Amino acid sequence: MPEADLLGLGAAVLIAGLLARLARRYGLPSVPCYMLVGIALGPGTPGPVLIGHPAELAVIAALGLVLLLFHLGVEFPVDEVLGGGRRLVVAASCYIGLNMTAGLLFGFALGWGASSALVVAGALGISSSAIVTKLLIELHRLTNAETPVILGIIVLEDLFLAFYLALLSPVLSAGDTTGEIVRDITLSFGMLAALLLVARFGARAVGRLLDTREDEVLAVVTIGLVVLVAGTAQEAGVSDAIGALLTGLVVARTRLRERVERLVTPLRDVFAAVFFVAFGLSIDTGHLGAVVVPVALAVAVTVVANLSAGIITARLFGFNQRGAANIGLTVLGRGEFSLILATLALSAGLDVRIGPFVALYVLVLAVLSPLLAAHSRHLARVMPDWLLRRDWTYVREETISTSCTHLDQVRVTETDAEECPECVASGSDWVALRLCTSCGFVGCCDDSPHRHASEHAARTRHPIIQSAQPGEDWKWCFVDETLVRAPLGTKR
């Protein structure tokens, strides 16, 4: 690499890091910041150029991609997926199916070719695990009832990623005939199956190969193994990303998992930043104008598909309108996988508009996703009752939580009362009835003139009420000011 480009790379990475630090203060993800620096300071944009020959960063950028996918494999929570049950699999399948189908149809509508349509489908169909996880943390929703479902969906998306890459890589290869494409797909899935078998039965051998007390040696040997497998997969006509992902799954089954994750994470972050900067460097801003309208339409398609999947998931798990809105808007962000697909497409010589299209699409959603997710209450207000369970009508805008610490005070959950005694005594009307789960007191709701249920809770300090309306079983904690739900998987 020329000295000038080395100097430019250092300056670009430093600027990207400082911009990402600024973005974090405002709740925005770092990936778009890295891309913006690459776009702004690359040869495709008028003005200062820090790196005049982006192609010379190819090896470093490839290492960033490999470490991203390897770390994803190491973190893959197999036990959570297996314990999520049939409903989680159905919810994730609906989410992936709706978004991928919408993306594929949109890709064909663009008219950029069948291979480009497959890339667009993946770019629009798979959300960013990093952005979703970051949103859940920053919005303080880790204890929400819908959060385990959201995490389950993105985990199954990551699993789907491996199979999609195995299918897409031969399609993007140089195979000209149907027979060659079929051969390449067979080889790709054969490689995938072989690595899965190693992950299932060869983890002990891999653990012995990597095992050492020295962190330095462990890091070097692990990175060497990952790059070797990724390179072997690439030479076999399979994506290097698949090799890296499956190597991560193998290492995750060894006793070295936590050490490897700790050692690789800083390397992943640095080289991944270079990967995203390099992607930005490849974007010619002269092509952005041609993709503004397609990007706007793609964002609209993604929002509709996500909200539809959120409603379906909420119906499966019995969440209210707020839960449906949280699911649909939290998993809206797109990031690393979309950019990986765009990189593969550009390397395969597909339509040059794919790069600017995906870059602008990711940037727009990276800004919209945190804003929409943070204001999901407003969407819940206008979401019709018939879309979800009727018993959530009264509390559609409230978040359901599994973090209430007062469940041990629940002693009464049933009542035969059909009227508010205090309203009857005073000759007043009431709207709906609430049951105190600590003592069994029945009072009217806050939409009633005298709000006897809330008055009783304030007087006695009994924390939880339950709806006493027929067919409703939700609970509200006055102390935590949240709907109360047992954790996912427990019997209600």
Length of the chain: 492
pLDDT higher than 50, residue 491: no
Fold (topology level) of 3-382? Na+/H+ antiporter like fold (1.20.1530)
Q: Which residues pair with 484 in a beta bridge?
A: 401, 475
Q: For residue 174, what pLDDT is reported?
A: 53
133-152 residue pLDDT tens: 667 766 777 677 787 788 77
Q: For residue 361, what pLDDT is reported?
A: 92
32-55 residue pLDDT tens: 788 888 888 888 788 788 887 777
Half-sphere exposure (CA, 13 Å, Cβ side) for 314?
30
373-388 mean pLDDT: 85
- pLDDT band for position 308 (cuts 50, 70, 90): very high
- pLDDT band for position 309 (cuts 50, 70, 90): very high
Structure tokens at 249: 């799954």
Quote the DSSP letter at residue 431: S
Half-sphere exposure (CA, 13 Å, Cβ side) for 28?
18
- pLDDT band for position 188 (cuts 50, 70, 90): low
CA distances from 156 to 333, 335, 363 (A): 16, 16, 24
Q: For residue 253, what pLDDT is reported?
A: 82
Q: For residue 492, what pLDDT is reported?
A: 44
CA distance 282 to 49: 12
Q: For residue 252, what pLDDT is reported?
A: 83
HEC per residue, 290-309:
HHHHHHHHHHHHHHHHHHHH
Q: For residue 239, what pLDDT is reported?
A: 67
- pLDDT band for position 83 (cuts 50, 70, 90): low
Residue spans of the domains in the chain: they are 3-382, 402-484
Q: Which residues pair with 477 in a beta bridge?
A: 464, 482
149-174 mean pLDDT: 75
Percent of residues, the chain, with pLDDT higher than 70? 87
Which residue has better confidence, 244 or 178? 244
Q: 136 with 399: CB under 8 angstroms? A: no
Q: Which CATH architecture has domain 402-484?
A: 2-Layer Sandwich (3.30)
